[in-house]
Amino acid sequence: MSYLENQFLEFTGSSSEDFDSEFSPTKNVTFPEQNTNQKLTDFVVNKTTNVFQHGCYMRGAIKGIKKLLPVDVLSGLGCKQRPPEAIVFGVKKGGTTTLKEFLAFHPGVSVAPKELKFLSSSFLRKQGLEGYASLMPYSLPTQIPIEKKPGYMVRYRCIEPLKEMVPNCKLIAILSDPVKRAVSDFVHLSWVRDHREGGASELLPKHAHQMPHYEVKSTFEESVFYPNGSLKTWNTLLDTSLYYKHAKMWMGYFPPENFLFLDSSDLVYNPVRTFQEIEEFLGLPPFFSEHVFHFNETKGFYCVCAILFIRACLHPKADRIQLSMIE
């Protein structure tokens, strides 16, 4: 067993024998038979596929695909869907997806695989705390459930419902250079407008006179400047980058110790320090170390060192992640 494998087993309370055989098809846990119509979301265990337990799920080498453990096993482990205790709530185009994907390797967390948009939806909020929990992944009693939705930071209507439902929620924001963030947002939305069906309508304000809202013209300069050179501060391209404004609003409801603000450059160029900060902030046992990350000279950025057969790399554009299967 490698250093990383042994460290993972220490978190899960398993032995090396467990790692090799506890969840094989011949043991208590059964899995669907492999067939030619198998979907990627249906995890299959066979002699050539390495699998391991991550909380309430089995995880394998095929780009980390997970499958929920059987109901009787979930009950025995105390697995249930719980509302988030921590949220990566900002900021759009800051690197939140990469942060989420790498943080999900930690055995002490259970991260929602997609953006739930619960707090920003008036329909979903009416379902209350139970409805929130029903959208989250299963987690062990010892794991911290985490959601990622970077749009929350600029949507103030999310604050009071969250304070009411999860009053001690921990909030993580990863921030990039505000100008570069705005340009990245512009490039992305220009592509959406020109290539996605109905993309142009997605940029229109939902209500008349809604401020701020997006205005995406043919160039970035046209989008954010008036002809006289003054800024269109009402444009969401710029407003989202006003980090102080949004942080001040949130800090009117949650105490300063509930916030962790990270620099996206540190995520790319010093990931060990970044994830150790997160561990300390969330009260997680140490997992991320120099053993976990290595700098790939060929790619020019950091990669995870084959944690249990999965290799993942940070892309210089911090909102991208590359995953591959270990041969």
Residue 230 is assigned to a ligand binding site: no
Peptide bond just before 91 cis, omega within 30 deg: yes
In one letter, which amino acid is 133? Answer: A
Catalytic residue among 66, 92, 93, 148: 93
Is 170 an annotated catalytic residue? Answer: no
Ranges of beta strands (E only) in 196-299 are 259-263, 293-296
3-state secondary structure 42-91: CCCCCCCCCEEEECCEEEECCCCCEEECCHHHHHHHCCEECCCCEEEEEC
In DSSP notation, 173-191 reads EEE--HHHHHHHHHHHHHH
The C-alpha atoms of residue 216 and residue 312 are separated, in whole angstroms, by 34
User: Of 176, 106, 138, which Cα lies nearest the Cα of 316?
Assistant: 176
The C-alpha atoms of residue 244 and residue 188 are separated, in whole angstroms, by 24
Residue 269 is assigned to a ligand binding site: no
Among all residues, which ones are annotated catalytic? 93
**Known binding-site residue numbers for 3'-phosphoadenylyl sulfate:** 184, 302
Q: Residue ranges for the binding site?
A: 184, 302
